[in-house]
Chains A and B, each alone.
Chain A
Amino acid sequence: MDIIIYSQPDNPQKDILLKTLSEFIKPVPVMVFDFDGLFCQLRSRVSGSAIIILLISHEEELEQLMEDRSRLFNTKCIVVLPENGDDLAMKGLALHPRYLGYADSDFSDICQVLEKMMNKHRPSHKTGIWGFCGR
């Protein structure tokens, strides 16, 4: 399972997130700095083979993502918001993320969720190489 992090290039939180993730998660995440890069990464993979972390800086980013939501093609995502505003949270939740976190945290919650999601999608002997998590 690959991890793709989307962040604006000037968002200082991205470095903290990346550093925290590297302590918890084995695969090195792919970092993208615009939506074209994000969709390009998604197109180059079989859908469902990546988890996206959307490190949001501004409300407009969420609005743009909502418009292009179909291009995410059911990829599981974690949304990280810059602040705890009601409107912003509702826009984030409209993307149906697996988890909604905030950038003012130490990102340990994001790591825990990510770890659980990756364990769930780890291929097992029973499910073969295609990664379906039959229980």
Chain B
Amino acid sequence: MANILIVDDDPLIRTLLIDSLTPLDHSLMVAETLSECLSVISTGKFDLVLLDVNLPDGSGLDALPDIRRVVSDPEVIIITGEGDAAGAKMAIEHEAWDYILKPFSLEKIILSVGRALEFRASKQIFTPAPDSVFDRSNIIGTSPKLTACLYQAVQCAGSDADVLITGPTGTGKELFASAIHQSSRQKKHNFIVVDCAALPEQLVESVLFGNVKGAYTGADAPREGLVKKADNGTLFLDEIGELPLSIQKKFLRVLQERKFKPVGGTDEIRSNFRLISATNRDLHQMAEDNEFRRDLLFRIRTIHIQLPSLKECREDIKPLSLHYIHSLCTHHGLETKGFGPEFLDALESYDWPGNTRELIRSLEQAILANVDSSMIYPNFLPPHIRLHQIQSSLKIKTGSSIPAPDFNSADTGVTISLPRELLDPIAPLKQVKIYAAGETEKLYLSRLMTVSNGDMEKASALAGISKSRLYSLLKTCRTDVNE
């Protein structure tokens, strides 16, 4: 028995589908709108979703990525009255099982549902839960997006297919690659890391393929390349987008034939390796711009894992912080420190453009800011993160960003609004002055920290005050906000 969610605003279609599927002994639920669908699907455990496209509150196709990302990862059959090529393309890109046009025959629906559920059952036999056999090592977090990536990694570990891992910088691409290797058939053999971004163009070929003695000036001895060292194991090409075009061509041949010639050599060498590549660059765009070979791109992305940014997985910030505070304190020979809710608020309100790597580094800076303290406080964090929290709190408090004024516009004036309660009834002048001075100070500090790029030294010099005074002002500013 499968759990099926029917999402359609047309009562006739819903009744028709319920009548056809009930005899098959499935558990059926219905949703009439997109929001109802998303709310139900996030809490239930569905195997299949029959999804209408034109719903009263939006397009089912737009919600397809969100539906596919929920933990139960249901199969989806699109049912639409207005089929078009773009919609079909989007459905296929998000791995919808079928794309059925209305009016449809009941036989077609029953057949499609049957096949989708058969496929799901076979998939589940080969897809154990991520934690059961997969060594997730330091991959911390339980957010739906990360969990979806872990499920993909489990699939990768169970096959020999080449894998492409993409995602913004600092999201843990190497960690995923290593975890896939550790849980794969190749785990008893080598995991060879090649950092393509660290290799100058003139060295790449000999590093990858090796060289014979005398192949070039300075090649005093024959060297085995990393491709050969990865024989029977995994070759991890980090930042593959940095691989020079001339090497891309040679590497494509290696992938096709699993043999290559070392630099200056004539004999071919065999190597049977599993390839995992990673990049934070848009390889499709690079292929469009003739900076990356399209044929190589198609060859390396048999399975593609797109890692989410930390901003998309805010619920993972707490477990990540707990894990890394412990590791970092151990690394620095300190007792593990604790933190309170206000510290977590500061972390969770920030967007982390450098992702987990930036989070780890900021935690380390906070730990080292006061090694004697058993607790980590928000004011131990780097100034730009504290400033962001202040600004976010102000947005919440006033309902709009204070001010975030455009200092670069031709009109360099910045206006401070007085709240109505100070003017109606009219408040004493002293009270208005205090309010205006406080707001001016906040605006000034915001601009000061932006201009000085978070550098306290530079900021205090620009403001003509001591660093400790600046710290104190920033702290007061934050306290005001939290009141």
User: Chain A: residues with CB nearer than 8 A to chain B?
Assistant: 42-43, 46-48, 71, 73, 84, 86, 89-90, 93-94, 96-100, 102, 104-106, 108-109, 112-113, 115-117, 120, 127-130, 132-135
Q: Is the CB of A46 within 8 A of B361?
A: yes
Ranked 10 nearest A-B pairs via Cβ: A132-B354, A98-B198, A112-B200, A96-B193, A98-B195, A117-B198, A73-B331, A46-B364, A43-B332, A113-B198
User: Chain B: residues with CB nearer than 8 A to chain A?
Assistant: 168-170, 174, 190-193, 195, 197-200, 202-203, 207, 218, 220-224, 226, 229, 280-281, 327-328, 331-333, 353-354, 357-358, 360-362, 364-365, 368, 382, 384, 453-455
Distance of B218 from chain A, by nearest CB (Å): 6
- Cα A6 to Cα B198 in complex, Å, equals 20
Closest residue to B138 on the A side, CB-wise?
A: A74
- Cα A104 to Cα B360 in complex, Å, equals 38
Q: Is the CB of B360 within 8 A of A47?
A: yes
Q: Is the CB of B199 within 8 A of A71?
A: no
- Cα A71 to Cα B365 in complex, Å, equals 18
| Pairs across A and B, CB under 8 Å, 6 listed | A71-B331, A96-B193, A109-B218, A112-B202, A116-B200, A132-B358
Q: Is the CB of B198 within 8 A of A99?
A: yes
- Cα A115 to Cα B280 in complex, Å, equals 21
- Cα A106 to Cα B454 in complex, Å, equals 42
Q: Is the CB of A128 within 8 A of B198?
A: no
Can you add 10 more A-B contacts, CB < 8 Å, to A98-B195, A108-B218? Answer: A46-B365, A46-B368, A48-B361, A71-B331, A105-B218, A112-B200, A127-B354, A129-B453, A129-B454, A134-B354
Q: Is the CB of A116 within 8 A of B354?
A: no
Q: What secondary structure prevails in chain B residues at the interface with A?
A: mixed
- Cα A99 to Cα B327 in complex, Å, equals 26
Q: Is the CB of B199 within 8 A of A47?
A: no
- Cα A97 to Cα B226 in complex, Å, equals 12
Q: Is the CB of A130 within 8 A of B361?
A: yes
Residues from chain A with Cβ under 8 Å of B382 in the complex: 130
- Cα A79 to Cα B197 in complex, Å, equals 17
Closest residue to A48 on the B side, CB-wise?
A: B361
Q: Is the CB of A109 within 8 A of B361?
A: no
Residues from chain A with Cβ under 8 Å of B362 in the complex: 130
- Cα A2 to Cα B279 in complex, Å, equals 25
Distance of A84 from chain B, by nearest CB (Å): 6
Distance of A27 from chain B, by nearest CB (Å): 18
The one of A43, A47, A99, A106 in contact with B195, judged by C-beta atoms closer than 8 angstroms, is A99
- Cα A120 to Cα B195 in complex, Å, equals 12
Closest residue to A128 on the B side, CB-wise?
A: B453
Q: Is the CB of A104 within 8 A of B220?
A: yes
* Known contacts A89-B224, A90-B190, A130-B354, A116 near B197 by CB under 8 Å: yes
- Cα A130 to Cα B364 in complex, Å, equals 12
- Cα A124 to Cα B453 in complex, Å, equals 11
Q: Is the CB of A135 within 8 A of B169?
A: yes
Closest residue to B178 on the A side, CB-wise?
A: A96
Residue of B197, B198, B207 with highest tally of chain A CB at under 10 A: B198
Residues from chain B with Cβ under 8 Å of A129 in the complex: 453-455
Residues from chain A with Cβ under 8 Å of B327 in the complex: 73
* Known contacts A46-B368, A105-B218, A112-B203, A132 near B353 by CB under 8 Å: yes
Residues from chain A with Cβ under 8 Å of B223 in the complex: 84, 102
Residues from chain A with Cβ under 8 Å of B357 in the complex: 48, 132
